[in-house]
Structure 1
Amino acid sequence: MKTKKSYGETNDLNLKTLVALSRCFQSVRKREMKTIKGAGLTVAQFGVLEILYHKGDLRIREIIEGTLSTGGNMTVVIENLEKIGFVSRYPDPKDGRASLIQITDKGRALMNRTFGGHVENIGEIFAVLDAQEKQELILLLKKLGTGT
């Protein structure tokens, strides 16, 4: 029989917590993907369409900040969404060097068809928690994320 190696009580608990958090995230992401894949999109593409759908026309930098993505990846994502007709770009009237990205009628129609199902799916994922537990989880995740 193999004996489990211990790194000390605190370290073992830290490692166990990290594994549980990672498995939880993977499980939630997999279930969240149901509606995103159903729309024929990647997570990044859905994120771009979602932010434009709710916030209106934005610069790429604002999309990156709002979707927590990286700059290099975002350019490719937007170019691919442009190719399939879900977004378009036009010069920013306040800064001719910059472009604004806007969701097209085709992109808006897709979001109109899919976003309600996405919200419902998220509701099913988090239905195992009551409102108080969700609030506590938000606080704990923010605390863990900022390290304070």
Structure 2
Amino acid sequence: MPTHWEGSTEERIALDAYIKLWRASQSVESRANRHLGDHDLTLSQFSVLEALLFLGPMTQRKLADKILRTSGNLTMVIDNLERSGFVRRERNEKDRREVIVRLTDEGRAKVENLMDEHVKGIVEVFSALSEDEQVVLARLCKKLGVGGAT
């Protein structure tokens, strides 16, 4: 649905693009991550496990930055993952103020077992676009995400 804003052409085009991008991102996120509920994980929980799998242990603050969440929101997510035995927190020996989050063996197994299904879901959603279109979309999203810088 295009915007009903009666501003300038520039404003209407930008708003229309924004609306379409936002709706598409919500739809893609929902369809690509539908399987997580079958494994009793939220998207935030899976994102933490995935980040720790591929990037290794890190502070809660750095983890929040990596998965685009606030530190406050992430505290509850990590609490729940810790309660499930998927992660553990450790004080940084060099700076006791910092808490390092690590995958447990159980957490590593959980996320590794989910990766094939996760990737399959994403590939399925993006199959609506050709490979060339996916490359162009990725480039445009990166350009938009960094504020127009190349």
Deviations along 1:62-121, one digit per CA (max 9) or x if unpaired, are 211211111111111111111111111122233222221111122122112211100111
Give TM-score, length-normalised by structure 1.
Answer: 0.87
Equivalence for 1:136: 136
Residue 112 to residue 147, structure 1, CA distance change in 2 (3 Å): closer
Equivalence for 1:96: 96
Deviations along 1:4-29, one digit per CA (max 9) or x if unpaired, are 77434333222221221111111101
SS in 2 for 1:95: coil
How much has 1:48 moved relative to structure 2? Answer: 0.6
After the TM superposition, which residues 112-127 of structure 1 pair with which residues of structure 2 at under 5 Å, given as runs?
112-127=112-127
Greater gyration radius: 1
Letter in 2 for 1:84: S
SS in 1 for 2:40: coil
Q: Verify the 8 A CA contact 2:5 2:12 in the aligned structure 1.
A: no
What is the number of equivalent residue pairs in this alignment? 145
Equivalence for 2:108: 108
After the TM superposition, which residues 1-148 of structure 1 pair with which residues of structure 2 at under 5 Å, given as runs?
6-148=6-148
Distance in 2, matches of 1:51 and 1:16, equals 33
What's the Cα RMSD here? 1.7
Deviations along 1:38-74, one digit per CA (max 9) or x if unpaired, are 2211111111111111222111122112111111111
Give TM-score, length-normalised by structure 2.
Answer: 0.86
Structure 2 gap ranges (5+): none
**Larger deviation, residues 78-87 vs 12-21:** 12-21
SS in 2 for 1:93: coil
How much has 1:134 moved relative to structure 2? Answer: 1.6
Structure 1 gap ranges (5+): none
